[in-house]
Structure 1
Amino acid sequence: MTMCDTLYIVVPCYNEEEVLPETARRLGDKLRGLMAAGKISPKSRVLFVNDGSRDGTWGVISRLHAADPLFSGVDLSRNRGHQNALLAGLMTARDRCDMAVSMDADLQDDVDAVDAMLEKYSEGCDIVYGVRSSRKKDTFFKRVTAEGFYRVMNFLGAETVFNHADYRLMSRRALDGLAEFREVNLFLRGIVPMIGYIVGTVEYERGERFAGESKYPLKKMLSFAMEGITSLSTKPIRYITLLGFLIFLVSLLMLVYSIVRWAHGDTIVGWASLICSVWAIGGLILLSLGVIGEYIGKIYLETKARPRFLIREILEDGNGKAD
């Protein structure tokens, strides 16, 4: 890493009007400090991505840019979801920087971990993951469900980094690699490890949300997990095949058992076992159809090749706007 290396901090924003001024203050102080220390280029910027917010988020971003060119902005045409907004920011930064750090706007990610990420980058790492050192501040339910999320994802074939969300540094080469992935169904936590190159990790203590509400309640986390699993792995379908084979074996054993009982003159059939079997098989069939349907839905969306995001406006240096 040299003084010429330009860093962009990409921050996707959805209804972050309350927290954005404080986020800008902290990130601005961090970039200015790194510039003063000669660790990054004066061309480095904070890039806020407005993901179709319904509050005054874009107005805040516009005012920040007007007051200080250190802050840039990307305004998406409509809400496209966190992963698409993050990708839009990274792809916008890609042609303007040597490396990009992605992080959320809620200030839970430790801004000071950027220094350690830069050290790893200077050692030759193309991707540096920010990994939580502990979950002591989480409630028992949050800790169990979050850790279970990563374990289930890895078990079902979606390779992820344990206790890592979307706080990471990516070099220009890694960003070019990310641009080669064209799928519409995005799950960056699983796609980025597929890029390869040299990786490193930095541990940090995750703080409390500065303001506003979490954008990932339990219901959305479950949906997010399903999106990641079906986007990156075919293991669930293989497990369904295995389950079907096991049920077939059980049916053969039950057939042998029934023949043996018939040979001994015992022809009384228990209706309870029959009803339970019917309900169990019916439930498994519906579950299997649902999983297969998820994959068919993914194929449907991928074949349409719809744009993952559309940018309405970009605020940057020069005349302040670019289409």
Structure 2
Amino acid sequence: MKLPVLTIIVPCYNEEEILPKTMDELTAVLLELMELKLVSNNSNMLFVDDGSKDHTWNLIQVESMQNHLVRGIKLAGNVGHQNALLAGLEAAQRQSDCVISIDADLQDDVSVIRTMVEKYNDGYDIVYGVRDKRQTDTFFKRNTALAFYRVMGTLGIQLIPNHADYRLMSKRALKELLKYKERNLFLRGMIPLIGFSQTKVFYERKERERGISKYPLKKMLSFAFDGITSFSVAPIRFVTYLGFITLLVSILAGGYALLQKWLGNTQSGWTSIMISLWIIGGLQLIGIGVVGEYIGKIFKEVKRRPIYAIDVDHYSENLEDEEADEAAWKRKGTS
């Protein structure tokens, strides 16, 4: 039985403090999998530098020269976590039979990788790493995350609760994912749409040892809103319903005003007029803003600009060298 080639993809942005430990722990896991004959000896780790401002890329380069399991891609600029992850997935699709994506901060338990590979060998195409507890989160983050999953479920968006981007994908699942051509990436919502056989493995998320989180509150809210507007038209529909409700209330209020006029009970009401104007004006601005979000996404999609540019690609270079060596051995064997 041919052993699968596994590529562990690690997007990195300003991770110089934790990256050496990340490389050591992932190397130990990969060597163990090779020793147990769960993956091929051609398996590797691919670190994608998302335009870091520190020494992240230098660490990747040095380690790749000392550790044959480590390879790297340097993006020309910072394009965001999801785009950097996609760059790694696209690079790995040629060589790998399966890929695992994991963040560089070591908060996801790397020991679960073995279980993921075992699930893959059992026939699963997608294996989600799911947190079984959220005790390391603050009270605010824990409850806002739960509210987010409830809202997404109400809107009909398929998400795996308490799952981020720690997952295994088979070659055919990855091939299907790369057929999705949208520029507004929300991989957590896209991957469940692929189908195929899927399962979960549970783990306890650790606290960040070094460095700072790359997802502050502002970025988390933006990410959540991008997910909603990328997969559902419910917000725009809600604005439409709100418009009809406002119209109904206006008709009732107008009828009431006419009735009072006919009864001779009318009097000047500056306060009520101003409140009405502010409410209607606010609703209009909200409606324009929601519509604008969708138009903005359409604007980005139709331009079809590349979502990332690669500055240095050691991964493909190594792959081409390996293919050349393999071809040479084949020629030697047939001569």
1:96 corresponds to: 95
Report whether the alignment pairs 1:84 with 2:104: no
Pairwise mapping of residues 166-245 of structure 1 onto structure 2 (< 5 A)?
Answer: 166-245=165-244
* Aligned residues between the structures: 321
Q: Distance in 2 between matches of 1:238 and 1:88?
A: 34
Any idea what SS the aligned residue of 2:73 has?
A: strand
Q: Distance in 1 between matches of 2:83 and 2:184?
A: 9
Report whether the alignment pairs 1:307 with 2:306: yes
Report whether the alignment pairs 1:297 with 2:293: no
Any idea what SS the aligned residue of 1:262 has?
A: helix
Specify the code of the residue in structure 2 equivalent to 1:255.
G
2:326 corresponds to: none
Shift of 1:149: 2.5
Q: Distance in 2 between matches of 1:50 and 1:232?
A: 28
- CA gap of 1:295–1:73, structure 2 versus 1, over 3 A, is same
Shift of 1:229: 1.6
Q: Distance in 1 between matches of 2:304 and 2:198?
A: 31
Shift of 1:153: 3.1
Specify the code of the residue in structure 2 equivalent to 1:200.
T
99-108 vs 117-126, greater mean Cα deviation: 117-126
Shift of 1:320: 8.4
Shift of 1:3: 4.9
Report whether the alignment pairs 1:69 with 2:68: yes
2:122 corresponds to: 123
- CA gap of 1:82–1:276, structure 2 versus 1, over 3 A, is same
Pairwise mapping of residues 153-164 of structure 1 onto structure 2 (< 5 A)?
Answer: 153-164=152-163
Shift of 1:319: 5.7
2:13 and 2:52 in contact (8 A); partners too: yes
2:44 corresponds to: 45
1:137 corresponds to: 136
- CA gap of 1:320–1:168, structure 2 versus 1, over 3 A, is closer
Any idea what SS the aligned residue of 1:200 has?
A: strand
Q: Distance in 1 between matches of 2:183 and 2:201?
A: 29
1:315 and 1:321 in contact (8 A); partners too: no
Unaligned 5+ segments in structure 2 are 322-335
Q: Distance in 1 between matches of 2:275 and 2:224?
A: 30
Q: Distance in 1 between matches of 2:317 and 2:263?
A: 92
Any idea what SS the aligned residue of 2:74 has?
A: strand
1:157 and 1:234 in contact (8 A); partners too: no
- CA gap of 1:231–1:144, structure 2 versus 1, over 3 A, is same
- CA gap of 1:159–1:318, structure 2 versus 1, over 3 A, is closer
2:8 corresponds to: 9
Q: Distance in 2 between matches of 1:148 and 1:307?
A: 33
2:330 corresponds to: none
Shift of 1:263: 2.7
Shift of 1:137: 2.0
After superposition, what is the alpha-carbon deviation per residue over 1:222-249, rounded to whole angstroms, capped at 9, x for unaligned?
Answer: 1111221222221111111111111111
Q: Distance in 1 between matches of 2:290 and 2:153?
A: 17
Any idea what SS the aligned residue of 2:200 has?
A: strand
Any idea what SS the aligned residue of 2:185 has?
A: coil
Q: Percent identity?
A: 52
Q: Distance in 2 between matches of 1:321 and 1:82?
A: 27
Any idea what SS the aligned residue of 1:161 has?
A: coil
Q: Distance in 1 between matches of 2:209 and 2:87?
A: 25
Query: Which contiguous aligned blocks of 4+ residues in structure 1 show a shift greater than 4 angstroms?
Result: 317-322
2:252 corresponds to: 253
Unaligned 5+ segments in structure 1 are none
Larger Rg: 2
Shift of 1:180: 0.3
- TM-score, normalised with respect to structure 1: 0.95
2:325 corresponds to: none
- CA gap of 1:89–1:219, structure 2 versus 1, over 3 A, is same
Q: Distance in 2 between matches of 1:134 and 1:118?
A: 22
